Each structure stands twice: as C-alpha cells, then as structure tokens.
Structure 1
Amino acid sequence: MTYRNHHYASGAALIAFAWTGVAAAQTAAAAGDAANNSGIAEIVVTANKRVQNLNDVGVTAAVVGGEMLKQQNLTSLSDVAARVPSLSYAAAPNGTPVYTLRGVGFYETSIGAYPSVSIYVDEIPLSFPVLTAHSTFDLERLEVLKGPQGTLFGQNATGGAINYIAAKPTSSFEAGASLTYGRFNQVDVEGYVSGPLAEGLKARIAGRAEFADGWQRSASRPGDRNGKVENYMGRFQLAWEPSSSLRFLLNVNGWKDKSETQAGQHIALQFQNENLSSPPGQFRNPAVVASPFSANDPRAADWSLSSSLYGPGKVPFADNDMIQASLRTDLDVGDFGTITALSAYTKFNQRQGNDSDGLPLNALDVPLTVGDIQTFFQELRFANDPHNPLRFVIGANYEWDKVFQEVNIDYSASSATIGFGQLFGFPLSVDTITNRQTMRNYAFFGNVEYDVIENLTLKGGIRYTNARNKANICQTDPQAPYNIGNVLKFFGAQFQGIPFQPYIPGECVAINVDSEALANGQFVPAVDYLPFGAIGAYQNTLKEDNISWRVGVDYKATPDVLLYVNVSKGYKAGSFPSITGSTLNQYVPARQESVLAYEAGLKATLIDRLLQFNLAGFYYDYKGKQLRTKLNDPTFGQLDVLRNIPKSSIKGFELEFTARPSDHLVVNAAYTYLDAKIDRFIGTNAGGDTGIDFAGTPIPYTPKHQISVSANYSQPLTSTINLFVGGTVNLRSSTIATLGGGENPSTINATNAGCVYCIRGYVVADAQIGIEDAGKRWRAFLWGKNIGNEYYWSNVVSGYDTVSRFAGRPATYGLTLSYSFR
C-alpha cells in the first residue's frame, strides 16, 4: 500500500500555490534580500567558479541571501533544506546528515562516506557531510546548484553542489551583533567585526553560540528531557592585497558541538530471526515487548540512561569539533586571465552517543562512537578574461583523506542476548566495529564557453578523476566474557571443521563466508586472503577512475529570456560501509555509480523586471546507484548492506516564480515533481523477505511533490522605521525510508505506525513580523517555525527487534534583536 497524508490533499497549501500562480521560493529568498524599487534585483552565483548573473547561466540554482537567512532564523542546512524544493534532509541515527537533491542522495551513516551532493565554503570542500553541521552563519548567500556538477565540482556531485559564500572582510569598519531568545530557553548570540587593518590588509572575525534546553520528553520518566543544545562556531578571515594583481584570503574556521543527539521514537516491533525463534517470540525480551509505542507527537521519545558497555551515563550526547584552515591566492596575468590556488587542511574529531531504538532499554543503542577525519585539499586553476567571447577554465586538484571511526553497539536487551544465551551459551550483547580508510583523489579538468554569436553560447567541460580508497574494517568484542567473539569463532570452526578455540581479545571476528551464497546452500568464501570459515579483518583497496563531461547550449531569445539545454555524465566514488555483521561479505564496497543526465530549461524576466519565471525539466539515467539495502545475516538476522542498484532513473520538472506586484511586496513559489524509480534490482526487503523484485519501487527519500510558497511585505511606519512581515508554507508529499517501504514487510508487527517505513507527507508553515531601521542598522522581530506544530519525520530506521523514526522539531518561536555599526 501507499501511505497518503491527508495534508497532501489539504487545500491550504494548494490554494496558496494557485493564488500565487506558479512560483519559486528558491530565487525568492534572494530576491527578497535584494529587491528594490526598480523591480526584482539581480542574483549572482558562482556555478562556473566565477561570479555571474543567475539569469545568464544555463543551470538550475536556488540562492538564499544572507539577510533572508537571518530574517527566517535559518541556522543550519537542515533548515534550508526544508525550504528549498528538491532538496531533502534525513536525520541519520548516528547524527550524520544525509542530503538528497532532485532524488539524488547517498544514505550512508559512516563519517567516511563521500556524499552525492558536494558542499563547499568559498570553493573549499567539506568533503564529508558530518563536517557541514555548523557552517550556516555570517553568510553573504547560500547557493544550491542542481543536477550533476562533476566537471567543475568533482566526482561526488552527481546530485549537485551546495556553496556557502561567507561574508568577506570589508574596506570600511563594520560590526554587528544579534541576540535571540526562544522556546525551550533557546539563546543564540552572533556577532562580527570587519574592517581594514592597514593598507591592502582587511580582516573579519565572526562567531555564533547556541544554547537551549531539551525538547524531547521521555515516555518512561516524566520530567526527563533530551535534545539540549550547546554549540560554538567561529570564522576568521584575513584578506591581503599587496598589489592590484595579487590577492590572498586566509580563512580559519571551526566549531564545537556539545549538544545531546536526537533520540528515536519507538513505533514497531520486528519478528525475530527465524533461526532463533520457534515459536515466534520465544526469546523476546518481555521488557521490550511491554514498552509502549511512542505517541504521534513530535516531542515523544525515550532513551537510555546507562549502557552495559559503559555503565551509568545518558546515552544521547555529543562532544565533536572541527577546524579548517584555507588559503586562496589569485594572481592576475596581465589582461589575459587569473591563476587561482586553493589550499586547505581540515581536522574533525567525534565522540558521541546515540539512542536509535527509542526505548529506555539497550535494545539497540550506540553508546559511544569515536572518530576523526583529516583532509588536505589543493587546487590550481587558470581562468581567462570572463569578458572574452571564448571563456575557459583549466586546472587540477588533489585531495588526501584519512578517516577512522569506531562504533560501539549495545543490544543487551535484545532477543539476540536471550536467544544465543539459551541456544549456544553465548548471550550476545555488545559489538565494536572499526573502519580505517585512507583516500587519495586527483583530477584534471577543463571547462569552456564560446559565444558563437551574440545570443548563442556553446558550453563544454571534461574532468578525469583517479581515486584510491584503502580500507581496513574490523569487528571486535570489547567486553568480557567475549560472547560475540566466542560465538563467531565457534561458527567459523564449524565451517572449517576444526576444534573451537576461545576468542582472544582484540581479534577481528567476522567470518570468511559469503552469507548470501550460504543462504542458497553454497559454501563460498567472501575474500581470497583467508581460508573459508576463518575469522579476520576485511581489507581491500578500491581503485577507480572516470571521465565526467558536460555539453550544452545557452540561447538568449531576448535580453531577458534564456533557453538552455545540458547533457552531462557524472560519477560518485565507491564506498565502504561501517556496519555490524558476522560475515566479511557485508563489508564489500559499493563501486562507483554513474549518471547520464539530460536537462532543458527556461529563465524569463518579464514585465519590466517585476516577474521572474523559471522552468526546468530533467531525466537522469543511473547505473550502479549506491543504496543501503538489507541482507539476512546467518547469525544476526536482517542487517544493512551497501549495494549497487543495476539500473534506476529519475525524471521530473521544476517550476519557479517570483513576482513583485508592488514596491512593498515580493511573492515567491516553487513546485518540484519527481518520479524516481528502481528499474532493475532483486534483493531483500526490510522484513527479511528475499528474492523481492524491486522494479518500479520508488527510490527512498524522494517525495514526488514539493511546493514552497512565501511572501515578504515591507511598509514604512515612519520616515526611519519600517514594518516587515514574512511567511513561508512548505509541502512535501510522502516518500519511503527504505526500498519497498511502501508495503509493510511480512515480519513487522506495528500497532500505531501505519505504513512502517513510510515518511508521511506534511505541511510546515513559518512566519516573521518585526520592525527595522530604514538604513537596516537595527532590527527587532518575532519569528516562528512549524507554527502549526505539525508532526512529521525525516527518517525511519530498523534495529534488531525494533523500528523507530526521527521526528521533526515541534513548533518553535522567539524574539531576535540585532544591531550593526557602520
């Protein structure tokens, strides 16, 4: 069945959409920033790694200006994703953000997984999604480039690229500060100081701190709360221009996150692994069965206050930090062009705990994850004079990444503990997975545009990428009496026909067996460097290369109407998973995926720049798309595994509209339609049913319909004070969180969840009202997010016995005061 939210049929958002006609909340936000009395202002982007007018570039992009980010209190990329149609955000159980753009995303929760949507700060990559958590502050604008961007932004931009454009040091002194107080005792403080230090030398320092009480309520302990916020972030920039032809920009930025991670909501029980259960439920923990399902309330949840691994101590917590230093050098070569060098080093440390089962028991908790990332990036490129009818960029870049992650899992309250204890004398309860990866990537690229005639431009680009990823994945038993180590050594000995030897602490214990072949009665090893049935670490080096390319045509039918067509081929690098399992074949990497993308669009500025209309249609032909699917593990039952889907496709269109009917009002709206389907794949569903033909199944995290409608109204109250009012309504139709999620698997027992793995459609409304100085020196306004307190969720995940969902935040509201000095 397909779960349909009654809100999707509700009239409010659809009537609002019809009232504004056709629309675009994307360009809307930027237009709301820059609107002036002469019409909708120009919007600039850096889609081709140089500043251009958005309406002159044959790409689809959403731009949110810095002032609009502040007015709508958008303080994270998840906030932005909720307002940009075709951009989706999913909360992973370990806190790693997952972004999907036009149905293109990569749901992999390990910190060392490259995304499908690349993220940059001033062209410096944040190579892994976990690094992007706290970059949305003191920005000039934020750009979302849609569609494959591989020729200029690299192999991991098959979905698109997101560019943070930080506010830069100024030539004159400026300073500003803001203070916010909101629901849950939210206190946010932000400020900056910018200006000249000496001749040719400017600096800017900005910072932000965020605090709030917990917003989730425990179902088992009235009065207990989770979700406390404590974040710190800062950015220092130093701009030096020793001559008119030479410029340097040093950027040192970082953040510290000491917040509590979100807990899941318990919504369903899974039947046990049939290998352990006869009759069903024989080994079920009565405390898990007796635990109530979470209420349909955004604040309802539960979490553990201790772990069998680490003793007393609240499981949801974080103590993570990131620091990055980058240097940009621009050297003008006469009137011919500019050489640009980008150098960056990034360091990330992770120490956090996550409760994903939504229970006060350790049915499936991750009480401690530790990890670190080190990244070095270097790019050198040359771009000729942008006013030349033949414009080109050529360059090369190199990236080195080293990633370590240790995931400690506690399932001591699960049926595995009871079942393996009674059947084999080894009550399984804890597990540790370590994943060490060293990645090296280098690329050569070129991009060219040629104005054949005044209003016709031909475009082309190509990039060669060579990638290597060396991985070592080890599953160990961290706790005496080492039950998981002993049981896996026992099973491995049975496969080999040798005597059982007790587990030695520190040994890697995944068995060299292909579990999928074993399910079909075939005794096949997973790797060739160990005997069949032996235990050990998974070791592999993934070597890949590819050639991305793009060709296109831009045609200016009139000075205000642009038609464009693009065809491109893009790639996403292969990836090793960080998952638990008993056999080595679960760590086999997914190899690189490829997409052949077709797009055609129209951009029109009409009625003397009072109306902006954009339309784009696209079709993506995917081969080897990387998705998390399921596998029946011979020991643990149903577990995650990373797979390449042989063939899938995405088609859709986007319709955008920005109108300025008066000097005081800007109205925006956007509609995105997506049809994202698996074309060919046979595998295992979320209930452990095997041999399922997934042809025609929707791709997870791809709502078919997305609508955003917003309006911003400004009116002078006096000669020095203006009133402003703003509002946004966002609608997303239903989607799924796993392949085949539209149907409840045969092994799910749910009482209040309906379609268990569905993500219900929803409508969320935000609003702001306030006053500001006509010169924008000060501002005071009230704001609200999710003002209707809509209950919605962005993800559904399965555990050993349980299924849980991650809800969006409830209604929040507050007051913001800001003042700037110029």
Structure 2
Amino acid sequence: MGSISASRLARLSLEAALACIPATAWGQDALPKDSSAKQEATPEEIIVTALKRDMSLQQVPTTVSVIGGSALQAANVTSVEQLTTAVPGVRIQNAPAGLVNPTMRGLGSSPSNNSFEQTIGLFADGIFLGHPRDYSAALFDVDRIEILKGTQAAVLGKNTSVGAISLVTKKPKDVFGFEGSYTHEFFQGSDILDGAVNVPLNKTLALRVAGQLTRIGGWIDNRLTGRDEPSTKTNAIRATLAWTPADNLKWTVSGQYSDYKLTGQPFYAAVDQLGRLAATSALYGDPNFVAATSDRTHATGRAGNRGLGIDNDGQRYVSTLELGLGDYTVTALTGYSKYKDFQMVSLTGTVNNPGLRSGNESDHAFSQELRIASPDRGAFSWLAGGYYYNDKWNFDDTFDVIRMAGTPVTGAFRTYYRQKTETLSLFGQGTLRPIDHLTIVGGLRYDHADKSGSYRRDILRPGLLTTVLFTPFAPATLRRKEEFVDWSASVQYEVMNRTMLYASYATGSKGGGFQTDPTVLSAAEFKDEHAKTIEVGAKIGFAPGSHLNLAFYNTDVNDYQIAFFTGTSFIVRNDDIRSRGVEAELAWAITDGLSLSGNVTYADAKKTKAVAGAIPGLVFAPKWSGVGKLSYQSHERQGLRFIGDAIVEFRSKEALNDAASFVIPASPGYAKLNLRLGVRNDDLGVELALIGKNLTGKRVVNYAFPAFLQTGGALVATDPPRTVGLQLSIKR
C-alpha cells in the first residue's frame, strides 16, 4: 500500500477535475425510450429540497452534491456508509461495534462514543436520524441523496454543525410501473436483489412497495473458522402511499422495516510490537498467531457466548402533509423510528476473545415539524416553523476480560445507560430580491434542549478491571439544559445567464451530553459544539449540461467533540479546531453521450489549540480527496445502446488516531479505479452490466484502534478488495 507524493496528488487532482463526473451529474435515471443522450437532465435542472425550498442545484448559495437513485443502484451502493466511493470530500469509516464515522471536509463525529449526536446530520425524507447506528440501515429505492457541505443552521429539522446528508426516497406515481436489479459478485460471492412496484389505486391514491435483499461475502480470511469475514445479510421493505384528493392537498405516508446481520468483524490484529497478542493466543491453544498487514485473522468468539458480529432491526414511519392555503403552503412532517441492536466485538483479534465487549442498544425517536411558506416569487418570500424532537436511547455495555499475556487485569462489568433528549425549536428564513439578479437570504433558529443520562454499573466478576479502571456506579442521573441561537446569511448575484457569484456565513450548534462508558461519573459530561462557516464561491455555466463551480470555505469549531480509545479506556474531549480549503467541480458534456467532469476537495483541518500528546491535525481528514467519472453512452443501434463508466476515487494520507504515539500513525493515500460496462435495450427497459471495483487491488486501511490491554498491539479495518460483478436490471 504505497503512499502518494504531494506533487503526484496535485497532478492527480487536476487530472481528476477533467476525468471525473461530479455527484450532481450522477443523479439521472435511465433515459426514456424515445430519448437521446442529449436529452438527459442537466445539473442546472436538478432540484434540491433539503433546505425546505425547491431550488435549482446551480442556484443554491452553498456547496451541494446530489447523487441519483439510479446511479446508486448501478454502483451497488446499499448503505449510507458506502457513499465514500461516490461523493468527494465525504469519508465514512467503519468503527467497532458496527458504528460508522462520517466526515466532511475533515470534520465529523468521533465513533468512539455512542452517545454523540452527529456532527453531520442524517435525514431520511426530512426526518432526523440522530445516532451512528442509523448510518448502517439499508439504502434502497432512493430518488436521490443530497449532500450539504458546511454549517446548516436555519431550516434543517435538527441543527448540524458541519454538514448534512439528506436521503429522499422514491414516491408513488399515478402510472403503473416496476423496476428491479440483481447483482452477483464473483470474488466474494455476494448477491444483491432489489425491486419496486408502483400501483395507482384510483385517481387520487397511489401505492409504491419496494424491498431489498443482500448477501455480502467477506474478504478477511479467518484461519481458525475457515470463513471469510465479515459477511452481512440485510432484508428490507418499504410501503409508501400518496393521496392527492385535491389540487391543494397531498398526503404521503411510508413505513419501512429492515434487519441487518453481520457475522464476524471487519477488524483484525495488524500490529504486535511486543508480542503480547501472540503470547495471549498461545495461552488459548493458538501458537500460530501472527499479526500482519494482510487481510487475515484468528479472532473468534468465546465459548459459551454469542459469536462476534451485529444483529440489528429497525422501523421508520414518515408522514408528510402538504396543504395549500391560497398562495401559501403549510407542511406537517411527522416521524417515528425505532431500532434494537446487539453487537459483540473482539478487542484483541485473537482466539477465545479474552477482551470481550458486547452491547444491547435500542432507540425510540419521535419528531414533529410544522412550517408555513409564502410563494417563492416576487421581491420577498419567507418561511417559518416549529420543530419538536423526543428521543429515548438505551445502551447496555459489557466488558469481560479474562487472562491475557503481559497484564494481570481481569474482571467483568456491565454499564447501563439511559438517555432522554427533548428539543423544541423555532426557525424562520426570508429571501429578499431588491433588484434584478440579486438575492439575499437570512435565517434564524432557536433551540432549547433538555437531556438526561442515567447510569448504573454492576460488577459481574471482580478483578483489577473493576477495582482500578471501571469501578461500580450506584444509580445516578446527570442532567443538562441547552439553548442555542444560530443564524445564517447569504448573498448571490447572477452575473449572466447560468452564472452566479455568492458568499454565505452560518453558525451551527450541536448539543453536549454524557459519554456512555466513563471511568468515573465526574468525567462523563462533555460540552456542546459550536461552528462558524464562511464560504465564497462561483457557479458558472458555460455550455448546455456543462458548468464549473468553485468554493472557498473556512469552518471554525469551538469545543469540537472528539473521542478515542486509549487501549484501556475511552477519552472524550472538547477541542478547538478549524478546516479551510477549496472545492472545485467541473462538468463538461463534450458530445452526445460523452461527458468528462470532476470534483476535488482540498481540506486543511487542524487543531487551533495544541493538545498535549495529540497530533496537530485531525483524524480521518485527508488534505485531498476526489471522486469522478468518465461516461460514454452510444446512440441506439438495432435496439441496443452501449454504456461505459470509468470512475476514479482518491485521497491523500489520513491520520487514524489522535494520539501522537499511536503505533499506526496514518493510512497512506490511494487512487482506485472502478469500471462499469454494459448494454441496454431502451424498448424493453433491460440493462446488463459488468461492474468492477478497486480493479487495481489497492489495500486501504480505513480505521485502527489499540488492542485492549495489549500494549504495542493494534487492530485495523480495511476497504473491500477488488470485486467484479454482473448486474441485470429492468425498469418499466
């Protein structure tokens, strides 16, 4: 896994800017039967709805990327955590216990504390999903994903301090139709099946039912069990009803169920500087253990316990009622979601799991938003509303440590944590157009939050672990109240047709709270997080279907919430940090069916106040990242159309742990090549494609943490290796 030099990265970023396609142009569905490549929707026509107004993508005064559902399906993206391969500047890493760690422009919530609210907010059909576990839910039958980069203060349903990901599912239509896709991947033996049917029940009522089944094989060779790990299974179904009894009334309701099961774990022991992991393995009858930077493991569960892995199931219900009152629109958005989850992790990556962590997690969340909007025309328009959020989250965490080499620490305990969050918000936004071509937008938001964390820690088996590191707690409850006032302002000027300049400023806040596994209760609380982002940019259209976008940004965050595992305990801090840089996006429709484009992010993220023993920068924050696509689509010949996509995804090196002394300081940079070659019959709506990912076989470490109580040892997770699959899809 070789590193990439700075000069090569600079050159690669420029090449990618000319040889890639941005997420904005990936969002198009398959062409209708009588269409040509020229008739595809251009990026200027893509509509963004996450900011509560229907806005053309090229008219939004901030950096937004949009990727369409057909592109997600074509790339076999089945969960939010796989978006790293599709969206530049967004990194999503695996973390222990099935958590994920999303970052934008080098900023995001640390995955080592389950109770963090997400710095990058996740929304599904406008409903806020507030826990890291929500990122692992099945992703299917999606109309588009909108990626909003930078602080979003005023109108989002829950404040997010550095960005947001908004999922928009497909809604019922008034015509019958169906679609489906099946993919078999040959190297890992994976199968992905999804489909949907749209049924108009009468003139005012339509139903859409969609589902997904996945069986994904692993790539880490477990030498003791003979399995390739981790393997995953997902089953999901969603039903959506749309009722339009009158021109001024529309009601859409949906219900979704999904379950997710992971067998094994994506982490394995890669470093054993002092030989302690090998000695521990020998204690339990495995003298052949070797820690190495290759995708193999000797990790097993412990006799008498459930095996390593994750078992999760969840439900989500959404109601959107839109009522027109003259020229005004009233929207009521109601959401309820719940999930339950079990996970078991080996913290040493050795046989018999002598450092065992297991947890039971559950969540119930309810939200209600009510807003009214004036017509979006004339010299002044506005919207205003209120938002209520209630979340009850439970996490029971067990550590069970038996004999290990080089340490006398043993013992077992269980921490019971119950968290209740209640938030009430008021928000408003006004748009002023004082003269032709000039638009000024201002937004204001007030949030009041009450949060409580209730603890109990029981000793299951006494030992040094429970008398020195994690002592018992009597039942206790900690409480905090928070009030935030955040605002945003932007000004944009249309210099000429399809070309505008803009500047924006926004503040954002994220609530504080209590860590789930403190060593002592007095250290459990962490402070709220406050961000300020300024962005200046230009969006320039220079030919049909072509544009150049540039954005310069600076984000400062006070009391940035960071958490990491030291090998003995979890540390939570509030640091002062900033990220500044530039994003460049080029889309160029060269000829009918041939497009070249690219999107590159440069992010310089670092601490503004030094922290003893910590790195000066931030974890999972590469300076350079980009993803793109060279796409070709032939004219129809004898009923067939040939298609081809060449996709490049790259990043520079990134730190893997905040501790300056960590045994794996950084993951080197990489560039990956993905190809998709296929043939489509537009009359039948059938497409057959060969999909290859990571064809150059880059081995990329995306996460690492120190082995529990095994000094000099570390576990890592890696991206999947080369995969090649055959996909058959139909859309009618």
Q: TM over 0.5, yes or no?
A: yes
Q: What per-residue deviation string (whole Å, max 9, x for no partner) do you get for residues 318-364 of structure 1?
A: 221010111111110112x1000011111101022223432224243
Correspondence for 1:542 among 480, 495, 508: 480
1:346 aligns with 2:340: no
Q: Say what the alpha-carbon RMSD is for the aligned residues.
A: 2.8
2 CA distance for matches of 1:285 and 1:781?
A: 45
Q: Deviations over 1:196-238 (max 9, x none)?
A: 10221111000000113433211445x3332222110111100
The reply to whether residue 591 of structure 1 matches residue 591 of structure 2 is no
Q: Secondary structure at the match of 2:81?
A: helix
1:587-736 matched pairs, under 5 angstroms: 588-606=524-542, 608-629=543-564, 638-645=568-575, 647-685=576-614, 697-716=616-635, 718-736=637-655
Distance 1:16 1:441 in 2: 42
**Structure 1 CA distance, aligned partners of 2:312 and 2:12?**
44
CA deviation after TM superposition for structure 1 residue 621, in Å: 1.5
Cα displacement string for residues 514-558 of structure 1 (whole angstroms, at most 9, x for unaligned residues): xxxxxxxxxxxxxxxxxxxxx534531121111111011011111
Equivalence map 1:417-496=2 (5 Å): 418-420=407-409, 428-479=410-461, 482-483=462-463, 488=467
Residues 155 and 548, structure 1, Cα contact 8 Å, conserved in 2: no
Correspondence for 2:64: 61
* TM-score normalised by L of structure 1: 0.83
| Displacement of 1:87 | 0.4
Is residue 2:471 matched to residue 1:510?
Answer: yes
1:510/1:584 contact within 8 Å kept: no
Equivalences for residues 290-329 of structure 1 within 5 A: 292-297=289-294, 299-307=295-303, 311=304, 313-314=306-307, 316-329=308-321
Q: Flag the 1:290–1:28 CA change in 2: closer, same or farther, 3 A.
A: farther
Could you say which residue in structure 1 is the equivalent of 2:160? 157
* Stretches of structure 2 lacking an aligned partner (at least 5 in a row): none
Are residues 453 and 12 of structure 1, via their aligned partners in 2, closer, same or farther at CA, if it must alter by over 3 Å? closer
Could you tell me how far 1:709 is from its partner in structure 2? 3.0
SS at match of 1:37: helix
- Between 1:317-326 and 1:767-776, the stretch displaced more is 767-776
Aligned partner of 1:800 in structure 2 is 709
* d(CA) in 2 for partners of 1:146, 1:19: 20
Matching of residue 402 in structure 1 with residue 392 in structure 2: yes
Q: Which amino acid aligns with 2:516?
A: S
How far apart are residue 388 of structure 1 and its match?
3.3
Equivalent in the alignment of 1:232: 235
Which amino acid in structure 1 is aligned with residue 607 of structure 2? Answer: I
Separation (CA, whole Å) in 2 of partners of 1:94 and 1:548: 34
Q: Figure out how many residues of one structure are paired with residues of the other and give that number.
A: 721
Partner of residue 674, structure 2:
766
Quote the Cα distance in structure 2 between the aligned partners of 1:559 and 1:762: 39
| Residues in 2 aligned to 1:597 and 1:16: alpha-carbon distance in whole angstroms | 24
1:59-98: CA deviation from partner (whole Å, max 9, x where unpaired): 1111111121122222222222222111011111111111
Which one is further off, 171-180 or 710-719? 710-719
- Provide the C-alpha distance between the structure 2 equivalents of 1:717 and 1:10, rounded to a whole number of angstroms: 42
Contact 1:108 1:577 (8 Å CA) reproduced: no
Matches within 5 A, 1:80-479: 80-154=83-157, 156-183=159-186, 184-220=188-224, 223-269=226-272, 287=283, 292-297=289-294, 299-307=295-303, 311=304, 313-314=306-307, 316-335=308-327, 337-366=328-357, 368-415=358-405, 418-420=407-409, 428-479=410-461
Q: CA deviation at 1:818?
A: 1.3
Superposition deviation, residue 591 in structure 1: 1.0
Output the CA distance in 2 between the equivalents of 1:629 and 1:397. 33
Identical-residue share of aligned pairs (%): 23
SS at match of 2:38: coil
1:817 to 724, 728, 731: 728
2:34 matches 1:26: no
CA shift for structure 1 position 759: 2.2
For residues 401 and 288 of structure 2, what CA distance do their matches in structure 1 show?
Answer: 15
Q: Residues 395 and 415 from structure 1, CA distance in 2 versus in 1: closer, same or farther, beyond 3 angstroms?
A: farther
Q: 1:176 to 1:610 in 2, by over 3 A?
A: closer
**Matched-pair contact (CA < 8 Å) for 2:48–2:54:** yes
**Match of 2:134, SS?**
helix
Please name the residue that 2:687 is paired with. 779
Q: Structure 2: how far apart are the matches of 1:248 and 1:404? A: 33
**Code of the aligned partner of 1:548:** D
Quote the offset at 1:122 in angstroms: 1.4
Query: Does structure 2 conserve the Cα–Cα contact (< 8 Å) formed by 1:23 and 1:656?
Result: no
2 CA distance for matches of 1:411 and 1:400?
36
Q: Which has the larger displacement, 176-185 or 672-681? A: 176-185
Distance (Å, rounded) in 1 between the aligned partners of 2:83 and 2:441: 30
The amino acid of 1:483's aligned partner reads G
Structure 1, residues 104-159: CA drift from partner, whole Å, max 9, x if none? 20113454431011111111122222123234211111110110112111554112
What residue in structure 2 maps to residue 500 of structure 1? none
Distance 1:720 1:735, change over 3 A: same
Question: Secondary structure of the equivalent of 2:527?
Answer: coil
Contact 1:72 1:767 in 2 (8 A): no
1:541-592 deviation per Cα after TM superposition (whole angstroms, max 9, x unaligned): 12111111101101111121111100111111113222263x3334x22111
Structure 2 counterpart of 1:567, one-letter code: Y
Q: Write the letter of the residue equivalent to 2:129.
A: L
Once the 2 structures are TM-superposed, how far is the Cα of residue 286 of structure 1 from its aligned partner? 6.0
Task: Check whether the contact 1:729–1:763 (CA below 8 A) recurs between aligned residues.
Answer: yes
Q: Which amino acid aligns with 2:633?
A: S
Give, as a single letter, the amino acid of the residue that structure 2 aligns with 1:559: N
Q: 1:387 to 1:763 in 2, by over 3 A?
A: same
Contact 1:258/1:318 (8 A) holds in 2:
yes
The residue identity in structure 1 corresponding to 2:596 is V
> Within 2, Cα distance between the matches of 1:711 and 1:728?
6
Find the residue that maps to 1:616 and give its secondary structure: strand
What amino acid does structure 2 have at the position aligned with 1:178? S
Gaps of 5+ in 1: 273-279, 421-427, 493-508, 512-534, 632-636, 686-693, 749-755
Q: 1:284 to 1:201 in 2, by over 3 A?
A: closer
Give the C-alpha shift of residue 775 in structure 1: 4.4
- The Cα shift of 1:187 comes to 1.5
Q: Which residue of 2 aligns with 1:37?
A: 38
Contact 1:567-1:596 at 8 Å conserved across structures: yes
Alpha-carbon spacing, 1:12–1:471, altered in 2? closer, same or farther (3 Å): closer
